[in-house]
Amino acid sequence: MQDPERGLSLTIARVVQRLQGSSLHSQLERQARVSLHKPEIKLESLKEDIKDFLKTSGWEKKLQNAVYSELNVFPWPCHPAAPPEHIKEPLAYMRKAQGSWEKRILKSLNSMCTELNIPLAQKRPANEQKELLNKWNEMGTDEPDLSLFRPVYAPKDFLEVLMNLRNPNYENGEQPSFRNHLGLIQVPLKVKDIPELKEDFSELGLNIGQLGIDDSAQVPPEFFENEHVRVGQKVLAEQDSAAAQQYVRQGCPTALRADLWALILNISNQPEDILYYEQLKSNVIQHNLLVDSLIYKDVKLTASNDDYYFVFEDYLYQVLLCFSRDTSVLEHFTYSSATPPKSYIQGKLGMEEYAVFYPPNGVIPFHGFSMYVAPLCFLYHEPSKLYQIFREMYVRFFFRLHSISSHPSGIVSLCLLFETLLQTHLPQLFYHLREIGAQPLRISFKWMVRAFSGYLATDQLLLLWDRILGYNSLEILAVLAAAVFAFRAVNLMEVTSLAAAEAVLADLSTLKVMPLLQIFLFATVT
Partner 1 sequence: MSVQTIRNVFSVETGYRLSDDQIVNHFPNHYELTRKDLMVKNIKRYRKELEKEGSPLAEKDENGKYIYLDFVPVTFMLPADYNLFVEEFRKNPSSTWIMKPCGKAQGKGIFLINKLSQIKKWSRDSKTSSFVSQSSKEAYVISLYINNPLLIGGKKFDLRLYVLVSTYRPLRCYMYKLGFCRFCTVKYTPSTSELDNMFVHLTNVAIQKHGDDYNHIHGGKWTVSNLRLYLESTRGKEVTNKLFDEIHWIIVQSLKAVAPVMNNDKHCFECYGYDIIIDDKLKPWLIEVNASPSLTSSTANDRILKYNLINDTLNIAVPNGEIPDCKWNKSPPKEVLGNYEVLYDEEMAQSDGTDRDLRGRPGQPTGVKGSRARDSGKPVLTTWK
Kindly list the residues in this chain that would bind partner 1 in the complex (CB under 8 A).
137-138, 140-141, 143, 217, 220-221, 253-255, 257-258, 304-308, 310-315, 377-381, 458-459, 462
To the nearest whole angstrom, how small is the minimum distance from the Cβ of residue 392 to partner 1?
18
**What is the closest distance, in whole angstroms, from the C-beta atom of residue 376 to partner 1 in the complex?**
10
Residue 435, CA distances (Å) to 431, 493, 498 in order: 6, 11, 10
The number of beta carbons lying within 10 Å of the beta carbon of residue 78 is 13
Angstrom distance (rounded) from CA 326 to CA 324: 6
Pick 97 or 258: Cβ nearer partner 1: 258
Q: Which is nearer to partner 1, 248 or 417 (CB)?
A: 248
Find the shortest distance in angstroms from Cβ 284 to partner 1: 18
Which of 143/435 has CB closer to partner 1?
143
Nearer to partner 1, 138 or 278 (CB): 138
CB of 184 to partner 1, least distance (A): 31
Q: Which is nearer to partner 1, 337 or 458 (CB)?
A: 458
Q: How far is the CB of 233 from partner 1 (least distance, A)?
A: 11
Q: In the complex, what is the shortest distance from the CB of residue 290 to partner 1, in angstroms, rounded to a whole number?
A: 25
H/E run at residue 450? none
| Radius of gyration, alpha carbons of the chain | 24
Q: How many CB atoms lie within 10 A of CB 250?
A: 23
Does 359 sit behind a cis peptide bond, omega within 30 degrees of 0 on the bond before it?
yes
CB 402 to partner 1: min, Å: 26
Minimum distance, C-beta of residue 455 to partner 1, in the bound complex (Å): 15
- In angstroms, give the least distance from the CB of 312 to partner 1: 5
Q: Least separation, in Å, of the C-beta of 242 and partner 1?
A: 23
- How far apart (Å, rounded) are the C-alpha atoms in residues 72 and 248? 15
Dihedral sign from CA coordinates of 263, 265, 266, 271: negative
**Closest to partner 1 by CB, 313 or 326:** 313
| Shortest Cβ 239–partner 1 spacing (Å) | 18
| CA dihedral sign, ordered 163, 169, 175, 177 | negative
Question: What is the rounded distance in angstroms from the CA atom of residue 452 to the CA atom of residue 211?
Answer: 18
**CB-CB contact of 212 with 512 (8 Å):** yes
Kindly give the residue spans of alpha helices, DSSP state H, lying in 214-369. Answer: 225-238, 241-247, 254-264, 271-286, 290-301, 313-324
Nearer to partner 1, 153 or 315 (CB): 315
Nearer to partner 1, 144 or 221 (CB): 221
Q: What sign results for the dihedral spanned by CA atoms 106, 109, 114, 117? A: negative
CB of 220 to partner 1, least distance (A): 6
Q: For residues 153 and 105, is the Cβ–Cβ distance under 8 A?
A: yes
Three-class DSSP labels, 163-212: HCCCCCCCCCCCCCCCCCCCCCCCCCCCCCCHHHHHHHCHHHCCCCCCCC
DSSP secondary structure letter of residue 281: H
Shorter beta-carbon distance to partner 1: residue 239 or 304: 304
CB atoms within 10 A of CB 106: 16
Of 251, 310, 287, whose CA–CA distance to 466 is shortest?
A: 251
The smaller minimum CB distance to partner 1, of residues 377 and 477, is found at 377
* Residue 476 C-beta-side C-alpha neighbours within 13 Å: 27
For residue 378, the minimal CB distance to partner 1 (Å) is: 5
Q: Tell me whether residue 237 or residue 525 sits nearer to partner 1 (CB atom).
A: 237
What angle (nearest 5°) sits at the alpha carbon of residue 89, between those of residues 521 and 1?
80
Q: Torsions phi, psi of 121, nearest 5?
A: -145, 145
Q: 241 Cβ partners below 8 Å, 6+ apart?
A: 64, 65, 68, 69, 263, 264, 266
Q: Closer to partner 1 at the Cβ: 164 or 216?
A: 216
* Cβ proximity to partner 1, 158 vs 378, nearer residue: 378
